[in-house]
Every structure is written in structure tokens, then in C-alpha cells.
């Protein structure tokens, strides 16, 4: 059926409106697309140009600041200082050797470090940063940064490095840090990713190693956008980590410095402990060395010099060294006999210069003998025969039990390297370790601190503090950890008979203050600072020798222990001088000087010393003052 003209016009009008509608929609879509294209190509052109250049996101760790270490008054002992270095990442560097050649034209590269870096580049993952230049100057750092486009994969960095401002004074206490080695990574299960950062430092010895987890802190993360050449375009986000915990020690830096200086060139150790808190006020070992040498890797020549020194500067003698305690052990033997009820303070034995046991003679240091001696005189004049007799009656089991009760043969838990346990021997110990039965001669030797008995200077100081107070004084090295006070080492009462302790203390008092005491020459004159002590000389070889007749290594060790003041004990001191010959002549004067320095907090007046010694002491004080750090050092650190 044919449409009328009217129908045709209506149909054409409808088609036109639809065409216009479709056309309008199409035009709108084209407009939106055009606007979007303009936005992407013009306004966002920079962003998409970067994307076109294969920009990507790099996530890296932010090393935390290592916790710092302070002494008891807030003086900085271990701190962080800026250090500049250059690293390279293999997967971003392209031709590594060509990049290194370009870098070598800008700064001087250490051949040894470069060789180590090449080795690490082969062994480590391609995205690991490897240090190729360390401890460079600020000028060198900026030169590399300015030429970054020509050095793909190379990154100048500002890091923190450890520094020990007091040098050798705290070497054996704090220890030192060093770069993480393959050995370090090999002995740690699931190592912290921080340890793979270039030249990241961890504790190697001493407090730095023992408190590594606290001092290290937790890493932060950094997300940056980098372009195809590895150059950073912008920082996207940063999450800071947690710095390591600060540690405040119980040690006083001025007293520690004095102890180190007073020990001088001797191969020796000294420990000062607070009788009321157990705080270690000084813990010195001589000779020492500068720990800063180890922070970035010690040279072969420096290390060879340390290991070949016969005075063993690498060893912390105060806690690692164990020695026959000699006559300083006689208080242990006497107290064991008193507590067992085997002897009283009034009982005496006759010393003829030796004691014969089963046809074997055990000599006294005084060949002519002491005659009849009781407890106090036996301690005062260090009569060996008296203690031989006590050992025969008391037995090694009781003596060793008392030794452990007083802190000998016990590994004290302080955060230093290789703290020794010492040895308070028993019959079972000899049978299991030596494969032999205990004999009576072993007990006789042990009674005067010879034979199998071994003690460290730390243990001898603890023993003395316990005798002085009757409490289980426990050594404490950390005063505060991240501002939190650590438990006191005052200890509970030992449960020993106070009358027995009083007799032991009286004997120690007369060692120093009686006219026939073995350490009278080292007495203190002030009535309110009188000290009580005990000399000791322990044999190194099986026969008695004269110092000037044998080599240094065969000479006897010199020991002295003391506490002061006698009536109200504040500090206990132990001194061991390796191959120093005589406790009364070598160790006792050092211990007396350290005691006075600790009590006064500075050089004591010359009136404290016997008159004949004052000229020598005055000269000595002048010399030692020149070795002290500034008294007004940093006392406002975070540890204060």
C-alpha cells in the first residue's frame, strides 16, 4: 500500500530527529574522548612520559639509628656519626666494569674494597647494594651525585657509623661493631634483612654484641619511583623505623680512665664494685686498644700487632682471665671451716714452716714458720700451714661449696664477651674431667688458692663484696635500658653467721692496718676510709721462683682484694697483675690508689698516704691527670 504524502513527511521527520539524537550522542562521546585525550596528553604528559620510560617503584629499607651507650653520669661512650659512602646495584648498573671505570675518574677507589665489592657483586642478589667506596669526603659525595646520570646503579649515601669517643678506656666493656660478614650471616638463622644492607654494622664483641638486638632497632621502609636508568624520580612514601635502645652503664668514665691509666703497661685487670647495689663502677683490662680501628675493618698490620703482643690486649682479663687466686682464697677456706663448726676463731695451729702429709711436705711461704697462729693472725700474715690444717679437717666439698656461695666458680651474667666461670673443684669434677681420683694434696693446694682453683678478677671482686656485706651481691653493668632502671644487684642475705664474717673481716683489716700485716705499706690513713684486704701471690710454675731469675712468663701472678671503708663498706676492689711477682708489692698499691680515687671521686689528698710515699704519689697523680678525658665532657646525653 502506497504511503500518502503526509505519512511520508511524518516518517522523514522522525528519521531526522533520530539522526540528530544519534549524532548528538556521537558528538558528545567524541567531545568527552577529546577532552580525556587532552587531559592525558597535555596535563598528565610528564607522568606518562615517565611511564613510557619504564618507570618503576623501588622499595628499600631505612636503617635505624643504633642505640647509643652512656656511662652512669651520661657521658657518651658509643655514638653515631655521619659517614659518606658509594654503593652500586648490579641489576641497575648495566656494564658494571664500565660504570666502575667512570666512577674511578671522579673519586679515588680503594683497591682492596673494590676487590671485595667485585666478589660481593658475584655472590649477592642483583638487587643488593654493594659498597664500593667508604668514608669518602663530602666533596667526593657531591661530585658523584652531580654525575649520577652517567653512573647507572651507583648511589651516593649518607649513613651513620659508630664512634667511641673515649677510645681504649672502654674497649673491653663495650667492645666494638664491624661490617656484617658472610660468617655472621652464616651463623644466624633467618637473618634480619637489615644485615644485607651495604656495610651495615653489628656488634662483634662486648656489650655491642651481647645487646645487639636492643641496640640495632627496627628498619623503616622507603618507596621511591625510579626511571629506566635507576635514577630516583620522586619519593612516594616513607615509614620511619624504630631507633635502637639507648643503654646507660653503671661504670663511671673518670674512674674507668683512672684504672686504665693506673694499670699502665702491666698485663693486668682491676674491678671496682659498689657493695650496696652491685654496680660495676670500673672494670678495666690492660693493655687495651682503640676500638675505632675495627669499625670499618682493621688493617692487617694493626691486627697482627695486637695478636702478637704477649700482653694479650685483645683479651678482657677482668672477666675472661682466670687465675689461681692464691692467698686471696684463704677467706673462703676459713669461712667454710667456721660455718662447718670444725674450727673456732680461738683455735690455733702450729706452723713450723711446712706441713707433712703422708711423707709429702707442703711448705709455708715463711720457711722458718709462724709458730702458733689463730685465724686473724693467719690471715694477717698469710700463714699457709694454718689453712692446710683447715683443709684437712674441712674437705674440698665444703670449701668449694663456700667458694660458689661467695661467687667463685659461678658465671656472672653481665653483657660482656666470654665471661669466665672459673673453677671451684670437687672430687666428681676431677674424676669426670681429669679421669683421676681426688687426693689429699689436692685439698691442701686448694686451701691456699692453688692447684685446680681458678677465679677471674670479677669473681674476686664479687667475693670481697659478699664478705664485706654478708649479702649475695650480684654484679650489674647496665643501669638503664632505654630509660628503664634495671634490677639492683644488692642481693639477699647469704645466711652466714655474722660472728664468723666479723672474724674474717677483722683478719682482712689487720692485713692492711696491723704492723705485721702483709699489705701495711699500702694502707689508707683516714680513720673514716680505712680499708680491709688480702694479698695473694699465685705460682705460675710448680716451684717457687725469684722474679729476677726467670723470664716474665714464669713469674708469679700478683693479686689483691679489698673493701672500704672498713666499718661501712661502699666499694670492693680486686686487682690482678699477670706475672707481677708479689701481691703486697705490686697489686696492693694499685688497689689502694684505685680505692681512694673511687671514694673521693677525684685525686685524694696526699695526707691519705704514708708520708714516705707522698712524693712518688704526687708525681704519679700529675702524670695520670694528663691522660684523663675532659672532666666537662658530654653529660647531657640521652642516657642521663
Return the active site residues. 327
**Which positions ≥6 away from 618 have C-beta within 8 Å?**
606
3-state secondary structure of 203: strand
Euclidean distance between CA atoms 593 and 621, whole angstroms: 10
The two beta strands, 69-70 and 247-249, are parallel
Rg (CA), the chain: 37
Contact present, 87 and 198 (Cβ < 8 Å): yes
Q: Which residues, 6 or more positions from 30, have their beta carbon under 8 angstroms from its beta carbon?
A: none
Q: What's the rounded Cα separation, in Å, for the pair 576 and 536?
A: 9
Q: Cα-flanking dihedrals φ and ψ of residue 178, to 5°?
A: -160, 170
Residue that is written with C-alpha cell 632502671 in the block: 485
Of 452, 595, 620, nearest to 531 by C-alpha is 595
Write out the three cell numbers for 489. 644487684
- Burial code (b: 16+ CB inside 10 Å, e: under 16) for 288-308 equals bbbbbbbbbebeeeeeeeeee
Give the dihedral sign, CA 128/133/134/140. negative
The three grid cell numbers given for residue 380, joined into one nine-digit string: 694477717
In terms of Cα–Cα distance, which of 211, 258, 275, 337 is closest to 469?
Answer: 275
Helices (H), 370-456: 375-381, 384-394, 396-405, 427-429, 440-447
User: Could you tell me the three cell numbers for 585?
Assistant: 708489692
Amino acid at each position: 500500500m502506497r504511503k500518502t504524502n503526509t505519512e511520508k513527511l511524518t516518517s522523514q521527520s522522525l528519521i531526522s530527529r533520530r539522526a540528530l539524537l544519534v549524532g548528538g550522542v556521537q558528538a558528545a562521546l567524541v567531545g568527552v574522548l577529546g577532552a580525556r585525550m587532552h587531559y592525558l596528553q597535555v596535563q598528565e604528559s610528564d607522568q606518562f612520559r615517565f611511564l613510557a620510560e619504564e618507570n618503576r617503584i623501588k622499595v628499600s629499607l631505612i636503617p635505624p639509628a643504633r642505640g647509643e651507650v652512656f656511662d652512669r653520669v651520661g657521658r657518651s661512650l658509643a655514638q653515631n656519626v655521619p659517614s659518606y659512602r658509594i654503593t652500586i646495584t648490579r641489576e641497575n648498573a648495566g656494564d658494571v666494569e664500565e660504570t666502575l671505570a667512570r666512577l674511578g675518574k671522579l673519586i679515588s677507589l680503594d683497591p682492596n674494597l673494590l676487590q671485595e665489592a667485585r666478589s660481593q657483586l658475584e655472590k649477592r642478589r642483583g638487587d643488593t647494594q654493594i659498597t664500593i667506596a667508604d668514608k669518602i669526603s663530602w666533596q667526593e659525595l657531591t661530585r658523584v651525585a652531580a654525575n649520577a646520570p652517567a653512573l647507572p646503579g651507583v648511589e651516593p649515601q649518607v649513613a651513620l657509623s659508630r664512634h667511641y669517643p673515649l677510645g681504649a678506656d672502654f674497649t673491653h666493656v663495650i667492645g666494638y661493631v664491624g661490617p656484617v660478614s658472610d660468617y655472621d650471616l652464616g651463623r644466624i638463622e633467618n637473618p634480619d634483612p637489615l644485615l644485607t644492607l651495604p656495610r651495615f654494622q653489628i656488634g662483634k664483641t662486648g656489650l655491642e654484641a651481647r645487646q645487639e638486638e636492643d641496640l640495632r632497632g627496627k628498619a623503616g621502609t622507603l618507596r621511591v619511583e625510579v626511571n629506566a636508568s635507576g635514577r630516583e624520580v620522586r619519593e612516594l612514601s616513607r615509614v620511619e623505623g624504630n631507633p635502637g635502645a639507648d643503654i646507660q652503664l653503671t661504670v663511671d668514665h673518670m674512674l674507668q680512665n683512672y684504672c686504665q691509666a693506673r694499670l699502665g703497661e702491666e698485663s693486668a685487670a682491676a674491678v671496682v664494685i659498689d657493695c650496696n647495689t652491685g654496680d660495676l663502677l670500673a672494670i678495666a683490662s690492660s693493655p687495651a686498644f682503640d676500638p675505632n680501628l675495627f669499625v670499618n675493618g682493621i688493617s692487617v698490620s694493626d691486627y697482627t700487632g695486637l695478636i702478637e703482643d704477649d700482653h694479650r690486649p685483645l683479651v678482657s682479663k677482668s672477666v675472661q682471665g682466670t687465675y689461681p687466686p692464691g692467698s686471696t682464697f684463704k677467706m673462703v677456706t676459713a669461712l667454710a671451716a667456721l660455718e662447718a663448726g670444725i674450727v673456732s676463731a680461738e683455735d690455733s695451729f702450729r706452723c713450723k714452716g711446712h706441713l707433712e702429709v703422708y711423707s709429702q711436705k707442703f711448705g709455708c711461704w715463711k720457711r722458718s714458720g709462724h709458730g702458733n697462729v689463730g685465724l686473724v693472725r693467719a690471715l694477717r700474715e698469710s700463714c699457709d700451714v694454718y689453712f692446710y690444717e683447715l683443709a684437712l679437717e674441712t674437705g674440698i666439698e665444703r670449701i668449694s661449696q663456700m667458694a660458689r656461695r661467695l661467687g667463685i666458680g659461678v658465671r656472672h651474667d653481665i653483657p660482656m664477651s666470654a665471661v669466665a666461670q672459673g673453677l671451684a673443684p670437687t672430687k666428681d669434677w676431677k674424676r669426670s674431667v681429669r679421669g683421676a681420683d681426688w687426693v689429699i694434696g689436692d685439698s691442701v693446694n686448694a686451701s691456699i688458692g692453688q692447684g685446680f682453683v681458678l677465679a677471674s678478677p670479677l669473681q674476686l671482686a664479687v667475693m670481697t663484696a659478699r664478705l664485706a656485706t654478708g649479702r649475695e651481691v650480684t654484679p650489674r653493668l647496665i643501669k638503664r635500658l632505654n630509660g628503664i632502671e634495671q634490677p639492683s644487684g644488692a642481693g639477699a642475705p647469704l645466711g652466714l653467721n655474722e660472728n664468723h664474717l666479723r672474724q674474717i673481716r677483722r683478719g682482712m683489716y689487720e692485713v692492711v692496718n696491723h704492723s705485721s700485716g702483709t699489705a701495711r705499706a699500702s694502707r689508707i690513713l683516714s680513720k673514716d676510709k680505712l680499708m680491709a684486704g688480702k694479698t695473694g701471690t699465685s705460682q705460675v710454675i710448680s716451684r717457687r721462683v725469684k722474679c729476677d731469675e726467670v723470664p716474665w712468663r714464669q713469674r708469679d701472678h700478683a693479686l689483691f682484694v679489698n673493701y672500704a671503708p672498713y666499718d661501712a663498706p661502699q666499694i670492693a676492689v680486686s686487682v690482678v697483675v699477670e706475672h707481677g711477682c708479689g701481691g703486697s708489692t705490686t697489686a696492693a698499691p694499685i688497689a689502694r690508689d684505685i680505692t681512694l680515687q673511687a671514694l673521693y671521686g677525684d685525686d685524694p689528698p696526699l695526707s691519705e698516704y704514708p708520708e714516705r710515699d707522698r712524693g712518688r704519689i704526687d708525681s704519679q697523680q700529675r702524670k695520670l691527670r694528663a691522660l684523663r678525658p675532659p672532666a666537662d665532657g658530654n653529660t647531657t646525653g640521652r642516657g642521663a
